Amino acid sequence: MVCFGSKALRLKGDKQRCLLEGDPDDSLPMRRGRKDKSQKPQKGGSRSSNQPSAEKKAKHGRNKSEDGKKGRGHGKGRHSDSSMEMNLGHMKNDSSLLPSKASKPVTNVLRKKVDPETAKYFLEISNLFDNKEIDLEERSTICANALEETKGKELELATDGPISHTLQVLVEGCELEQLCMFLHNSIESFHIIAVDKFGSHVAEAALKSLATHLEDESSRDIIEDILNRICKVIASDAANVMSSCYGSHVLRTLLCLCKGVPLQSLQDFHTTKRSVVLAERLSCCSNQSGGNNPKNHEFGFSDIFKSFVREMLQNAKDGISTLQTDKNSSLVLQTALKLSAGDDHELNYIISILLGFDEDGTAQKKDCSEQKKEIIALLEGTAYSHLLEVIVEVAPEELRNNMLTGTLKGALFAISSHHCGNYVVQALVASAKTSDQMEQIWDELGSRIKELLELGKTGVVASILAACQRLETKRLESSQALSAALSSSSESPDSIVEHILFLEDYLRQKSSWEWPLGARMSVLGCLMLQSILQYPHQYIRPYVASLLAMDDNKILQISKDSGGSHVLEAFLCSSATAKRKFKVFAKKM
C-alpha cells in the first residue's frame, strides 16, 4: 500500500480509514517538460519484445484472461454497449460527485498500489508510443482504449511516477469525449491528484487539452459541466490545493481555463518577468497585466469563474492571512485578481476578503487606516508584497483613492524604501488614473527623490517621471527634482545626462565618477531620460543643454548602446528646436 494526498479512500472489507503523513517537502519543484503529441514519451524499461501483441491489447483493450474481468476497451470503429456519447450525456444528471457543503477536506489518503498487470499494460502502451510508425488514427484509438482502462483506478495511476508520464500522453492525444470521461471519473479525487508530485502534471495536461476545444461551440456544454464539477471539488479543499507547490500550478491553469485565457498566454500566469512588468509600468499606455486582455476571454465561462473564486475564498477565509504570505497560494490569489481586472464588483469582493474589510462588497467605503501597520509589517515577505502589487494595479478607482487617503497615506516613503515594498509603490504610481492621485503621491515622495535614488530605489523614481508625463502633472517639479538630485556643486550642471545614463555607477562613485568608455548604460537611467524628453521644451532645457555639451565620442557611444539609442530617438521626437537637434546629431557624422 502507498499512502499520500488529501482525501481517504475506503478499502475493500475495511471500514476504517488509514491516514498517513504525506511528503512534507513544499519547496517549488522543477516542472518536468511537457511532451509534444508527436513526441515519443521517455519511459523506463525497454521496448516490449512482443510488439504486435502489445499493439493488439492497446487497440482492443485487455481481455478477461489478462485481468480477470471483461475488457472495457474496444477496437477502432466500434463502441461498447453503453456508448461514450450516452455516458457523457448522463454527466449533467449525475450529481453524486458534487461535494457536500458540510464535508470537510482530509489531508491524507490511503490508496491502492497499481497492480502488476495494470502496470505491465501501461508499460506496453508507453512502448507503443515509442513506435513512430503509429499513425494519428491508430494513436487516437489507442489513447481512447487505454483511458477506458483507467476507470476506477484514476487516482493510483495518475500518482504513479512512470504511469503518470503515459497518462499525460494519453490525455493530450485523445478525443474530447474520452478526455471528458476520464476527468468525470477522476473528479472525486481531482483535488488529491492536483497536489501530488506526479498527478499534478496529469491534471494540468488534461486541463490544457480541454482548453484546445474551447472554440468549438458544440463542445462547450460538455466542457462547462466538467469545469463546474472540478471547480466545486477544488473549492472544497481550496486552502490545501492553493498552498501546495504542485496544486498552485494546477489551480492557476484551472482559473485561466474558466476565464478563457488562450493557451499561448497561460505561461504569463506561471512566471513573472520584472523587465516586462517594468516596461508596462513605464509605458504611457494603460497597464495590462500578463496578457490579461478582456478581448482574449471570449471563450471563457464567466459565471463559473466568478462562483469558483468566491467559493474558494469563502472556504479558505479562516486561513487567508496565512495564504497571503505563502508563495504558492499568493500566486493563485494574484492570478484570480488579474483575471478579474475590470470587474469592479468582483474585485471589491476579493480585495475585501484579502485586506480584511467588510464582506458586503463595500470595501472602498471603509476607513482602512487601521490596516497600515499590518500591511507594512507583511511587506517583509515577497509573497505578500507581490500580492499587494497586483491589488493596487487592478483595484477599482474608489478603492484605490481610499488606499491613498487611508491605508497608505503617510507611509509611501517607508514602503518605497523597502526592498519588497518599493514594487508596490511602483505599481501604485503606474496605476494612478487622475492628476489628483498623482499629486497625492508627489506630496509624499516628490521632496525625497534624491533619497530614493541614494537608497537604490530608482524604479520608484522612473515610475513617478513616467506617470507625471502620462497624467501631465508635476512635470516641472519632477524635472527640477531629478536635476537637483544628480547634480554636484563640484561639477558642471551640463553633466546631468551623463550621470543619468550611467545612473547606478554614478550613485556608487559620485565624486570619483568618470565617464566609462565602452560600458553598458543604465536601463532605468535611459528610461528616465526617455520620459523626461517627452516633457514640454521649457521643462527639459537643462537636459538638452547637457546633450549639446557632450563631445562627439560620447554621442557616438550613446548611439551604439541599446538603451542610449532610444534616448537619442526620444530627443529627436522631443519638443526641442530643430536647430538643437541638428547640433547633437551632427556630432555622430
Cβ atoms of residues 283 and 236 within 8 Å: no
pTM: predicted TM-score of the whole model, two decimal places:
0.78
Locus of grid cell 555639451: 549
Contacts of 190 (CB under 8 A, 6+ apart): 183, 203, 230, 233, 234
Chain-centre distance for alpha carbon 513: 41
- The pLDDT profile of the chain, 589 residues, written as one tens digit per residue, is 434 333 333 333 333 333 233 343 433 344 344 344 334 344 333 333 344 444 555 555 554 334 433 333 333 333 333 334 434 444 554 544 444 443 344 445 556 788 899 999 999 988 888 776 677 778 888 888 899 999 999 999 999 999 999 999 999 988 999 999 999 999 999 999 999 999 999 999 999 999 999 888 888 999 999 999 999 999 999 999 999 999 999 999 999 999 988 877 777 766 666 666 766 677 644 444 444 555 556 788 999 999 999 999 999 988 998 999 999 999 999 999 999 999 999 999 999 899 876 554 444 444 555 667 778 788 888 899 999 999 999 999 888 888 888 788 888 999 999 888 899 999 999 999 999 999 999 999 999 999 999 999 999 999 999 999 999 999 999 999 999 999 877 677 789 999 999 999 999 988 789 999 889 999 999 999 999 999 999 999 999 999 999 999 999 999 999 999 999 999 999 999 999 999 988 876 6
Asked if 432 and 536 sit in the same domain, the reply is: no
pLDDT value of residue 510? 84
Q: What is the pLDDT of residue 512?
A: 84
Is 541 a domain residue? yes
Q: Identify the residue whose cell numbers are 504542485.
A: 246
- Judgement on whether residues 470 and 520 belong to the same structural domain of the protein: no
CA torsion, ordered 110, 111, 116, 118, to nearest 10 deg: 180
Which of 212, 228, 263 is the last residue before a domain boundary? 212
Report d(CA 514, CA 242) in Å as an integer.
51
Looking at the structure, do residues 58 and 174 belong to the same domain, yes or no? yes
Whether residue 262 is found in the same domain as residue 307 = yes
Q: Is the same domain home to 61 and 116? A: yes
Work out how many domains the chain is built from and give that number: 4
The per-residue pLDDT for 7 is: 33
Classified as helix, coil or strand, 2 is: strand
Domain-located, residue 317 = yes
Distance of CA 472 to the CA centre of its chain: 32
Q: Which domain holds residue 530?
A: 493-589
What pLDDT was estimated at residue 357?
66
